[in-house]
Every structure is written in structure tokens, then in C-alpha cells.
A and B are shown apart, each in its own frame.
Chain A
Amino acid sequence: MSLLRSLPLGKRVISHFSPASIRTFERRTMATAQTEQPDGLKLGVAHSNLLASTPDLGLSNQELAGMGLQTEETRRLNMCQAVNDAIGTVLAADDSAVVFGEDVAFGGVFRCTLGLAESYGKERVFNTPLTEQGIAGFGIGMAAMGHTAIAEIQFADYIFPAFDQLVNEAAKYRYRSGGQFHCGGLTVRTPCSAVGHGGHYHSQSPEGYLAHTPGLKIVTPRSPLQAKGLLLAAIRDRNPTIFLEPKVLYRGAVEHVPIPDYELPLGKAEILKPGKDITVVGWGSQIYALENAIQLAEKRLGGVSCELIDLRTILPWDVETVCNSVKKTGRLVIAHEAPMTGGFGAEIAATVQERCFLHLESPIQRITGWDTPFPLVFEKVYIPGVIRCFDGIKRVMEY
């Protein structure tokens, strides 16, 4: 189900996504980002204040401090290195753990499994035939025997052939057996979301489809530090978990990541920036568009104070943190790349409306991808970028 099969120019298209070309792409976008913006904003992940640019910032993570983790060292990692670090940590500690998927043995098309087959052996890090339904089913079977199965679907766009295995099987394995069997040791990692030129099938964000499935957990990180901690938690969680990795961050997001083994909690949102006038919720790479939109709002809308929340876990999501925030601010904007209709933003909006009705000062605003397939040359006007997010915040504030 990869490009190799669907396009006659397979090789070329694959190389389109090779690390080198991703670097080229990122240099291109970075270059754009570095040109002076109308409001003096520095756009993009490269300039984010949310990334730990120094060891001290990496170590000062509050959640880690709460765990009493003894650490004084960090490494500067991009997100694919952080993912690699997490998987390597598991392989070293858990002998039952295996990693498999299409092209993972040579390091993966995004280099997330680089060096692991050499370190842990072909029996534990191996290629599968090109079959997503097979990969998911195989992982369920391994996990049902109590093993740790870390499966990779090459692009989230190709998770749909595995939809039956994930929704009808993985999610219901424990429930339908009365708790006799479960496949909690299964984690499915998959690169998701926009990458600048991914077109229909290298850009999708399928969390909305998956979130309608009791029994699954769905997690998405925004940065290397988050990716390591959340992935370690996802792999060790006793429920089947889909781990969506925003591929644009693989090399775009770099920060100081603590060296030891640590986990970040699933089902918990994180308040990235406290504020009092409006709550802004997003996840994954969307967080960086929101960071810029908030900077713009605070600059242009005269003293507006925005609270930014990274949801992190889509299912089960942290209702409490979001609702407490909205009760304080009275306003809510949700932003995600996936299309609006049936997107996860609708779930958040409905829940907040139900629980915070008397606190809401304005309608909840969703800023999302349009209800179209993800387009190639129209990507910039498809995605809920800085301006669309800013405009949403503005409308909510001026209501």
C-alpha cells in the first residue's frame, strides 16, 4: 500500500521522502520562515519557544521533576532520534519486545529504527511483507501472547487497510473475552500529518476515525522530549495504543531530551502557556501554528492573554484540564489539521459546551482542515495555519 506500488515512478517518489530530501524541504521552509514576517514574528518549529533549547530547559520539565527522576544529562535530539531512543530503551529492557513493519530493518524510511536491527538482532527488528492488515493482525497475535509488539505503519494514510484489525480486533480483544485475553502490549507507530508536499496519501491525520473506538488509546507528541516519554508510556501501557508521529517534526523539531528512561502520562493534557482570556487547544505539529497565532493575537489584540493546551492523548482525552481552563477563560478555540466534519474538535466542542455552558462567553470555534481530501499545491490554503488560527482567536475574542 505504499507509493512503490501505486505509482510507476515509485523509486523517485520514495526518495522524495528520504532524509536528505526532508532536510532540503526543511531548509526551504526554514529559509521562508527566516524572512521577516509582517508582524516581526519568527514562524515555524525552528523558532519555537516550546522546545527545550538548553539542557536546563530539558531537565526542568515539571512532569519529570514530579517523578523524582535522577538525571543531570540530556542529549540534543530531533524527533526521529527521540523515537529511536525510546524504542531502543524498550528493546534493551524487555526481551519480549520486537519491532516490525515495512522497511524497518534498514532503519525505516524516516530513520526512526536506525541501528536497532544491528543492536538487537534480525529476530527482534524485522521487515514484514507489504501488508498493513497483516502487520496489525500479527502484532495483535504477539501481544495476545503477552509479548511487546511495536508495529510500524509506514504512513498514517495507510492505516486504513488495518482499520478492521485495529477497531474490531485490537480494541475489543480484552472486552469480548471477559478480560481473559488482551493485546495491551501492542503499539502501532505511524507518521502522520502535513509535510509540505505530501498530497492525498502522505499528509492525513486519521485520529478522528480512530477516536471513535472504545478500547484504543491514541497519542500524539509535539516534540522530541514528549515523543520519548509518551512513546515509552504507550509501549508499556496495557492497552493497544496508536502513536501518531507528526512527520514534519522528525527533523524539524530538535531539543534537549533527558538521557534516562522516563515516561510521560497518557490521558493527560499539558498546559504549555497559562492565560486568562481564551483557551486554545491543539496537538501534534499544530501546536506550533497555534504558538505563532497566539503571539500574533497578543500583539495585535491589545493584551489578550491566551492559554495554550497540548492535548497529547486523543483517547481517552483529558476532559478535566480542558474544561477547567475554559471555565476560567470562558472562550475556546480548537485547531487540528484533519477535516472539520467528524473531526476530533467536534468531540471537544460538544463536551465543553455540555460542561461549561454557563461559563462560555462566545461560541466555540474550530479551525481545521477543510472538508476536502488533503491537496498538493493548495496545502498552504488547506492547513489551519497561523493566520487562520489567529483569525479564529480574534473572532472569538470580538464576539
Chain B
Amino acid sequence: MSTKLSRSSASKAVQPEKVMFPGARDSYFTSQFGFTAGEGQGLPTFRAMDANGRLCEGGPTEEELGITKEMALRLYREMVQLNTLDVIMYEAQRQGRISFYMTSYGEESLIGSASSLRPEDVVFGQYREAGVLLYRGFTLREFMDQCYGSVGDSGKGRQMPVHFGSARLNFHTISSPLTTQLPQAAGAAYALKRESSEEGRVAMCYFGEGAASEGDFHAALNMAATLGCPTIFYCRNNGFAISTPSTEQYVGDGIASRGIGYGIETIRVDGNDVWAVKYATEKARKMALGDDGKGSPRPVLIEALTYRIGHHSTSDDSSAYRSKEEVEDWRRKDDPMTRLRRFLESRDWWNAEEETALRDETRKAVLSEFSQAEKRAKPPISDLFTDVYDELTPALKEQQQEMERLVREYPEYYQSVREHQGSENV
């Protein structure tokens, strides 16, 4: 980063004296005084496809990017499905039918990163990564049951909507505290490194640029780097953390510049370009496993620049801190789904009729699962007490009995609980 200093010093001294202090191994002494905060332009942003859906020249070939008609259509269908799910669930929250929701509008190309992972790779997310689950085979029914807290929810109705998780799909359950999953992903990756499987597995870890301000970000990147953990840190830099614009989040060159400071190989990509996201993740995976011939297992950082088109959540009206025009402008100008659709249409892989048919079919499927989940019972009261520990403690047993007594003794006050659950559960 301090190119000016190094150039001037190097020209004066043929053999600059290397620093011997243990804290910095690659430094040398200079008499040129100066502080540095990085210079000139920020790190470049890799893109494979422009905003009009045309592949850029001079970059990786189509084959290298993994472009096939089958893959392109799959990615597009998943993005449309995610978008449809978001539209309907957002509306459902507005009608008071579920308590909370968060959309992925504008960040659907995240699905491209999922396509470069193996199913056995372990995923740690923040909350705006439903696309990864969708790609891995989380069913519409599973999405609905979680948002409704219905009896089919593998989380047993305990967490707020969109806190998905699936052991079957190696997707660790989402929690609300931001960034806590980062050091966990480093630890999980260390465990994976110790498991001597032939293929090798990585831990994929998603987070937003706001979350990167938490102390756990620092802890995780430094630990992953020092301990050689095969973790891919994937930052969704969408410009906002609720109302806080990234200009109030940091002064440096985004999140990517920090990766370099931790000694982590880093790339910044166009997060609205599904091919760039896919390609970067594929390469990162190889590097993380040490399969790129350049070293042993190690972490990699991807910063994907994008724009949060939707509100932060259903509890947020983003017009209070940014203009509707700005959002509309982004949606019109550049949107990952539109971009991929332009790409598909330019190759005659897609047309308006297919678009209408896909939209209709997806909408019907989502609505059908939606109404079924709404009718399903809630989990039994006993699920309130289990899984705190592997076994019920004596105190929990007593408290469970006490709760059951109350429901029996004051049925009129626990009517809704009884109705939801069916009498056999009480």
C-alpha cells in the first residue's frame, strides 16, 4: 500500500536494511518519514458480466466461468423462486400472518456462491442468505414452517422467522446476534481441516458490511489466518446496515482492504454479477483447501459489492433514510436477476413466455405451501423445555409440569395454545 515510500527508498538504497524486530518480518528501514493510510484508488472490483448481461472481454473464458445453459437456467430459476418467496412472505407479514420477515431483494446473485460449494461444505450465515438454502434443496414447506413456527419446523418454532437452519443441508442455524458466526466458522473449518477426508471441506461464512464492524469480525479473520482455517469469508456489502450507510460504517476501502491487513488473500467482486460471484467462490474454495498449489489450507475473503433494494426488514421503512427514487434507480439500472435474464435472452435461452410461465408456476407453488403451513398446528408445549440441555434437568422437569398445570387449570386463558396444538398436546 505504501508504494510511494517503497519506491523512493528503494531508489536510494541498493540493499535496504531489513527490520529485525519480531513483529514485522517484511519491513525495511527508511529515513523517509510518513504515515500511510493506503493510497490512490481502492481495490478493483472483478466482474465477468456487465450490467447489460454481456460477458466482459479479457476475463476468464465461458468454460472457466462454468457457464452452461443448464447452470444458467438453474441459477435464474432459483433467483426467481427466491424473489417470489420474498414477495409473498413480505406481504404475509404486512397482513399480520407471520410476525417478521427479511427479503433478499437485490442480493439474489448470492445463489451463485452456493453453486460453487459442495453439499458437504458447511455454511454459516447471517440472515439474508435464504438463496443458499434454496439452492441446496431447502423446500418451500421448510421455509414456511419455520416462518410460521409450525409443527414441521425443524427449529420447533423457537426462533423468529428467517432464522433457518438445516442439519441435512449442512447449514448451521441462523441466530440474531451479528457476526457471532464468524469465529465459529473459523473453528468449524479448523475441525474440518483435522478430518482427513479425501475431498476436503470448507466452512462458508456470510455476513454484511455492518456486521464486519463487530469485534467478532476481527477475532475471526485473525484466528482463521493464524491457525490456517479453510474458511471462506463472504461479505455482502450492500451499502446499508439498517439505516446506517457504509460511509458511517468505515472510512477505509470497504471490507476487502482489511483482509489484506490480516494476511488473507482477498478479492472484491461485483455482487450483482452471478458469474463473478460463482467464479470467485470456486477459486476461493480451492485456495481455502490449499488445492491451488500455492500453500496449505487458509482463509479467503470475498467482498461482494451490491445494493440492498428492499427494506432492512418488515420492521423498517427505508424511505426514512434514503429516497425511493434512489432505490428505484438501482432496481432499474442494475439488478442481479435482470442482468442474468438479459444474459439468457441474449443467447435465446429464455423468452417472455417462459418468464410468465415460471413466475406463475412459482407463485402457485409458494401460495399453496403458504396456506398449508398456516393451517398446520404449532409444536407441543413440551418443545418449550426440551433441547435447553441434552436432557431435561430436574428444574426444567418441574417447570414443565407447572406450565402444564396452568394450561389445565386456566384453559380459557390458554385457548389459543390449545387450539393451535390440538388437545392431545396439552
* Residues of A that sit less than 8 Å from B by CB: 96, 98, 123, 126, 128-129, 131, 133-134, 136-147, 149, 161, 164-165, 168-169, 172-182, 184, 214-215, 217, 238-239, 267, 316, 319-320
A239, B389: Cβ atoms under 8 Å? yes
For A351, the closest partner residue in chain B by CB is: B395
Q: Which residues of B contact A174 (CB under 8 A)?
A: 387-390
Q: A141-B190, A181-B173 are in contact. List 5 more A-B contacts (CB 8 A).
A: A129-B219, A138-B187, A141-B189, A175-B158, A181-B172
Size of the chain B interface, CB-CB below 8 angstroms:
49
A215 to B187, CA, bound (A): 20
A169, B180: Cβ atoms under 8 Å? yes
Residue B134 interfacial (CB < 8 Å): no
Q: Which residues of B contact A320 (CB under 8 A)?
A: 394
Given contacts A144-B172, A172-B175, A239-B389, contact A134 B220 (CB under 8 A): yes
Residue B276 interfacial (CB < 8 Å): no
A178, B223: Cβ atoms under 8 Å? no
A145 to B158, CA, bound (A): 22
Leading 6 A-B pairs by shortest Cβ distance: A141-B187, A137-B183, A134-B219, A141-B184, A138-B187, A177-B173
Residue B155 interfacial (CB < 8 Å): yes
What string of 1s and 0s marks CB contacts (under 8 Å) between B222-265 and chain A? 11001100000000000000000000000000000000000000
A123, B388: Cβ atoms under 8 Å? no
A133, B387: Cβ atoms under 8 Å? no
Cross-interface CB contact of A319 among B167, B219, B395, cutoff 8 Å: B395
Q: How many A-B residue pairs have CB under 8 A?
A: 156
Given contacts A126-B227, A138-B223, contact A177 B155 (CB under 8 A): yes
B387, A142: Cβ atoms under 8 Å? no
Residue B153 interfacial (CB < 8 Å): yes
Residue B163 interfacial (CB < 8 Å): yes
A141 to chain B, nearest CB (A): 3
A129 to B221, CA, bound (A): 11
B216, A137: Cβ atoms under 8 Å? yes
A134, B393: Cβ atoms under 8 Å? no
A137, B182: Cβ atoms under 8 Å? yes
Given contacts A131-B219, A147-B191, contact A180 B154 (CB under 8 A): yes
Given contacts A133-B183, A178-B155, A239-B390, contact A169 B227 (CB under 8 A): no
B390, A139: Cβ atoms under 8 Å? no
What secondary structure prevails in chain A residues at the interface with B?
mixed
Q: Which residues of B contact A177 (CB under 8 A)?
A: 154-155, 165, 167, 172-173
Q: Identify which of residues 199-222 in chain B touch chain A, using a CB-to-CB cut-off of 8 Å.
A: 203, 215-216, 218-220, 222
Given contacts A175-B387, A178-B158, contact A141 B185 (CB under 8 A): yes
A129 to B218, CA, bound (A): 11
B187, A140: Cβ atoms under 8 Å? yes
Q: Which residues of A contact B219 (CB under 8 A)?
A: 129, 131, 133-134, 137
* Residues of B that sit less than 8 Å from A by CB: 122, 124, 153-156, 158-159, 163, 165-167, 172-173, 175, 177, 180, 182-192, 194-195, 203, 215-216, 218-220, 222-223, 226-227, 383, 386-390, 393-395
For A182, the closest partner residue in chain B by CB is: B390
B158, A181: Cβ atoms under 8 Å? no
Q: Which residues of B contact A316 (CB under 8 A)?
A: 389, 393-395
Q: Which residues of A contact B191 (CB under 8 A)?
A: 96, 141-142, 145-147
Given contacts A137-B180, A137-B220, contact A149 B390 (CB under 8 A): no
B378 to chain A, nearest CB (A): 13
Q: Which residues of B contact A139 (CB under 8 A)?
A: 187
B393 to chain A, nearest CB (A): 4
For B379, the closest partner residue in chain A by CB is: A178
A164 to B219, CA, bound (A): 13
A136 to B182, CA, bound (A): 11
A168, B175: Cβ atoms under 8 Å? yes
Among A128, A139, A141, A172, the most chain B Cβ lie within 10 Å of the Cβ of A141
A94 to chain B, nearest CB (A): 12
A316 to B397, CA, bound (A): 12
Among B167, B180, B186, the most chain A Cβ lie within 10 Å of the Cβ of B180
B165, A137: Cβ atoms under 8 Å? no
A138, B184: Cβ atoms under 8 Å? yes
For B192, the closest partner residue in chain A by CB is: A145
B188, A180: Cβ atoms under 8 Å? no
Q: Which residues of A contact B215 (CB under 8 A)?
A: 131, 133, 161
A178 to B165, CA, bound (A): 9
A131 to B124, CA, bound (A): 21
Some 7 contacts from A to B, beta carbons below 8 A apart, are: A136-B183, A141-B124, A142-B188, A145-B192, A176-B158, A181-B165, A215-B388
B173, A180: Cβ atoms under 8 Å? yes
A237 to chain B, nearest CB (A): 8
A127 to chain B, nearest CB (A): 9
For A129, the closest partner residue in chain B by CB is: B222
Q: Which residues of B contact A131 (CB under 8 A)?
A: 215, 218-219, 222-223
For A95, the closest partner residue in chain B by CB is: B194
Given contacts A131-B223, A178-B155, contact A144 B387 (CB under 8 A): no
B163, A145: Cβ atoms under 8 Å? no
Among A136, A147, A178, A182, the most chain B Cβ lie within 10 Å of the Cβ of A178
A96, B223: Cβ atoms under 8 Å? no
Q: Which residues of A contact B190 (CB under 8 A)?
A: 98, 138, 141-142
A139 to B223, CA, bound (A): 11
A37 to B159, CA, bound (A): 59
B142 to chain A, nearest CB (A): 12
A176 to B386, CA, bound (A): 11
A175 to B172, CA, bound (A): 13
Among A164, A180, A320, the most chain B Cβ lie within 10 Å of the Cβ of A180
Given contacts A137-B187, A181-B165, A181-B172, contact A164 B222 (CB under 8 A): no
